[in-house]
A and B are shown apart, each in its own frame.
Chain A
Amino acid sequence: MPEKPEFFLPDPEGLTPSAEGYFGAFGGKFIPEALVAAVDEVAAEYEKAKADPAFAAELNELMANYTGRPSALTEVPRFAAEAGGARIFLKREDLNHTGSHKINNVLGQALLTRRMGKTRVIAETGAGQHGVATATACALFGLECTIYMGEVDTKRQALNVARMRILGAEVVSVTSGSRTLKDAINEAFRDWVANVDRTHYLFGTVAGPHPFPALVRDFHRVIGVEARRQLLERTGRLPDAAVACVGGGSNAMGLFHAFLPDAGVRLVGCEPAGHGVETGEHAATLTAGEPGILHGSRSYVLQDDEGQITEPYSISAGLDYPGVGPEHAYLKDTGRAEYRAVTDDAAMQALRLLSRTEGIIPAIESAHALAGALELGRELGPEALLLVNLSGRGDKDMDTAARYFGLYDSEEAGK
């Protein structure tokens, strides 16, 4: 390892979107005029930061000594025995400070916030992991912090609500629409329009208007760059597939990006099929959606024939979203990445299996990637080498899991 490890790795391959923020037909900047100046300011500040060695130095230092990077790469043979004998390695983003990959992007944007001279940060959160990471960075930097979270999610991720509040953030429970991530984003945009002078909207995934899809991806590129190097060191070869769950798509894009030039590596995104795509109760946007505009960019969205966004469903709060980042839409349409849908049940089984075979309790979001890897391993056979992004840890999901598996002593168990 180099003496001063580098974790801030903005795309060196020239794979950035066009100047207007397009990845092929997807992306762009569909925002009200009131936000144009603020969004342009974020883009300009990010360009300046990329060229400033002091920015990279500070972020690298935080990533090393606050987040705890590089994150481990763990082989999971007992789990892999259920996957047709393929070898499986997990990229352990769950071991980062705050318990998920989200901190990578948050620290980068928190530094940008300070550079822009803004004193207040707002963010949306689904599973609460982005909210917790944001509240953490705001505590660290002394920034005022307001987190928007759908009411459904404040209930199913109550532990993370408490964490955010302990960290000093205000958590606003959003009761409009489907009361989940989409509605939390709507409310955060409304706040931003009204308070944009002193507020940065610390967007939590690779969606939203340009420059967020590229900027958030850049802060997460470290996941794939590290994993690629670690896997080569450990096995001497590249994986047959890199697998990640896809909500908005940030952990997946962070993993995939370093492998884009490696044509032999399949990039597999696992979307939430909820009760099954055929039931209509799912959030499998790339599998079942169509191109449209949601939250500032053109991508795939779940919508009806007249452009009304339809209500998504997933047992996983972090994946329960009817949109997806535009670069994923582009990778799907070009065929470079493939997306499959994983049901609630398959994800929950994978969550329990990893816990019991390896002593690692994954987040329900990440369990979708694990379930996808089990399928893929069986398809590819014992020679296969799979890399899976374990985007987060499962502490926040223990109430959901206890109800799902009937683990409570009392009769309150759900299923």
Chain B
Amino acid sequence: MSGTIELLQEALAHAKAENRAALIAYLPAGFPTVDGGIEAVKAAFDGGADIVEVGLPHSDPVLDGPVIQTADDIALKNGVRIADVLRTVREAHAATGKPVLVMTYWNPVDRYGVERFAAELAEAGGAGCILPDLPVEESEGWRKAAEQHGLATVFVVAPSSRDERLARITAAGSGFVYAASLMGVTGTRASVGEQAGELVRRTRATTELPVCVGLGVSNAVQAAEVAAFADGVIVGSAFVKRILDAEGDEAAGLAAVRALAAELAEGVRKRG
């Protein structure tokens, strides 16, 4: 079975046709449990997310702030495995028909086997992968496997990326481009970085791919602000925090995820 990159492209095109930004939610697999994580992804879709990124929990999440670190720790202590991540993708996609990506640090994929991971992610109905610590220079092997299996390779660009690098990165990527709104790790912020708009503009100058903005967005006002200049709004820590705040009450956590997704879905339709 081939991956569902087309579904991802369609979801982004659909949002564009509606003259709005897409809403992309991030949730780690295995958090708070494997089944609970699957339900959380479904709840995010149910509330209005267009796309979900499923995180592969890692022992050393150097690009994540305390909220996602805590979730990863909980998932790993519960013994989450790559098979559970793939099951999360499979069940969430099967239940909703929506595009589901995996976001992972590179070492787990490297260790699991690039071809094996790509094949199994595609088989689970995944739409692609975001690999935040795999620079474009090291990505050729992965990109070949991803292309062969119908998976998108989403690269991250940062405010510090120079124009010539942006061009090189966006030429290698597919699906969309993940523009980091600020220099920093994941986590909610009081305001979205001022650098985001400029980065989106510079990125657009190099590519036809949709440009989605992540890092720091946590509420409808910020989502609307970002939606004014980006093709998609990516929200992670705010979702994870809702589940953490529910302190083990799974139903309350799911309700909070659904409510946040609904709030953000309204935000991305307001466009500033």
Binding site for B on A (CB under 8 A): 20, 28-38, 176-177, 182, 186, 189-190, 193-197, 292-295, 301, 303, 305-310
Contacts and interface: CB of A to CB of B under 8 A. Distances in A.
A190 B161 contact: no
A391 to B, nearest CB: 26
A196 B158 CA distance: 12
A310 B60 CA distance: 10
B208 to A, nearest CB: 20
Nearest to B58: A308
A189 B62 contact: yes
Contacts of B183: 34, 193-197
B268 to A, nearest CB: 24
A306 B57 CA distance: 11
B138 interface: yes
20 contacts: A28-B138, A32-B63, A33-B132, A33-B135, A33-B158, A33-B180, A34-B184, A38-B160, A190-B185, A193-B183, A193-B184, A195-B183, A292-B110, A293-B110, A295-B62, A301-B107, A306-B82, A306-B108, A307-B111, A309-B107
A309 B158 CA distance: 27
Contacts of B132: 32-33
A36 B180 CA distance: 14
A137 B230 CA distance: 44
B69 interface: yes
A26 B59 CA distance: 22
Interface string B158-186: 11111001000100000000001001110
Contact of B60 (A37, A294, A306): A294
Contacts of A35: 160
A307 B107 contact: yes
B251 to A, nearest CB: 30
Interface residues of B, number: 39
Contacts of B160: 33-38, 196
A199 B193 CA distance: 19
B168 to A, nearest CB: 11
Given A31-B133, A34-B158, A194-B184, A293 B107 contact: yes
A204 B65 CA distance: 23
B134 interface: yes
Contacts of A182: 60
A308 B184 contact: no
A303 B157 contact: no
A193 B159 CA distance: 11
B161 A37 contact: yes
Contacts of A292: 107, 110-111
Contact of B134 (A20, A30, A190, A295): A30
B167 to A, nearest CB: 13
A178 to B, nearest CB: 9
B135 A307 contact: no
A186 B60 CA distance: 7
Nearest to B132: A32
Interface centre among A194, A195, A197, A308 (most CB of B within 10 A): A308
Interface in B93-115: 106-112
A30 B82 CA distance: 21
Contacts of B69: 176
A306 B111 CA distance: 6
B179 to A, nearest CB: 10
Given A34-B184, A186-B61, 10 more contacts: A28-B138, A32-B135, A33-B165, A33-B180, A34-B183, A35-B160, A176-B73, A194-B184, A306-B81, A307-B110
B75 to A, nearest CB: 11
A113 B139 CA distance: 30
Contacts of A28: 138
A396 to B, nearest CB: 26
A257 to B, nearest CB: 26
Interface in B66-81: 69, 73, 76, 81
A156 to B, nearest CB: 22
B137 interface: yes
Contacts of B110: 292-293, 307
Nearest to A293: B107
B156 interface: yes
B158 A307 contact: no
A246 to B, nearest CB: 20
B155 interface: yes
B62 A190 contact: yes
Contact of A33 (B61, B111, B112, B156): B156
Nearest to B109: A307
A329 B174 CA distance: 34
Given A32-B63, A33-B157, A308 B138 contact: no
A193 B185 contact: yes
Contacts of A34: 156, 158-160, 180, 183-184
Given A194-B184, A294-B107, A36 B135 contact: yes
B134 A177 contact: no
A190 B63 CA distance: 6
Nearest to A34: B158
Contacts of B59: 177, 308-310
Contacts of A308: 58-59, 76, 108
Nearest to A189: B62
A186 B62 contact: yes
Contacts of B106: 30, 293
Interface in B25-78: 58-63, 65, 69, 73, 76
A302 to B, nearest CB: 11
B194 to A, nearest CB: 14
B177 to A, nearest CB: 11
Contacts of A33: 132, 135, 155-158, 160-161, 165, 169, 180
A32 B108 CA distance: 16
Interface centre among A30, A31, A182, A295 (most CB of B within 10 A): A30
Nearest to A310: B59
B182 to A, nearest CB: 8
A164 B194 CA distance: 36
Nearest to A290: B111
B108 A307 contact: yes
Nearest to B82: A306
